Structures are given as structure tokens and as C-alpha cells.
Amino acid sequence: MVVLDHYTLGYITFGLMSLSMLSGAFILLSKKRQFWIKIHILVSVLAYLFMVWTIWVVR
């Protein structure tokens, strides 16, 4: 069984937030805006859920 401590959850959250910023930049730079908007929403929601989970574990 894999146990996720708050350090691992923090790194995952940081990585997802970085990917969210990158996908947001691709919305502005790419011709395929609809694709990048969908990716951005998906990654942003995942980052938010992991952030809440990390805060929950720390508290």
C-alpha cells in the first residue's frame, strides 16, 4: 500500500500548479485553444483537490 505523507502531497500539488500555469500559457499561445482550456480546467481542479487534501493531512 502506498502512503502519501504531506511532503509527497505537497510536491504533487506544486507540480500540478506548475502544469496549470503552463497550460494557461498555452491557451494564449496556441491555435488549439479549446483543447488547452479543457486541459487547464482538468489540471486546475486536480491541483485544487490535492491542495485541499494536503491541508487536510497537515491539520
Looking at the domain assignment, is residue 1 inside a domain?
no
In tens, the pLDDT along 4-55 reads: 888 888 899 999 999 999 999 999 999 999 999 999 999 999 999 999 988 8
How many domains, the chain?
1
Looking at the domain assignment, is residue 27 inside a domain?
yes
Task: Provide the pLDDT for residue 1.
Answer: 61
Task: Provide the pLDDT for residue 15.
Answer: 95
Looking at the domain assignment, is residue 22 inside a domain?
yes
Looking at the domain assignment, is residue 29 inside a domain?
yes
pLDDT of 2 above 90: no
pTM summary value: 0.83
> DSSP secondary structure string, 7-40?
HHHHHHHHHHHHHHHHHHHHHHH-S-HHHHHHHH
Looking at the domain assignment, is residue 15 inside a domain?
yes
Looking at the domain assignment, is residue 46 inside a domain?
yes
Q: Which domain holds residue 23?
A: 6-58
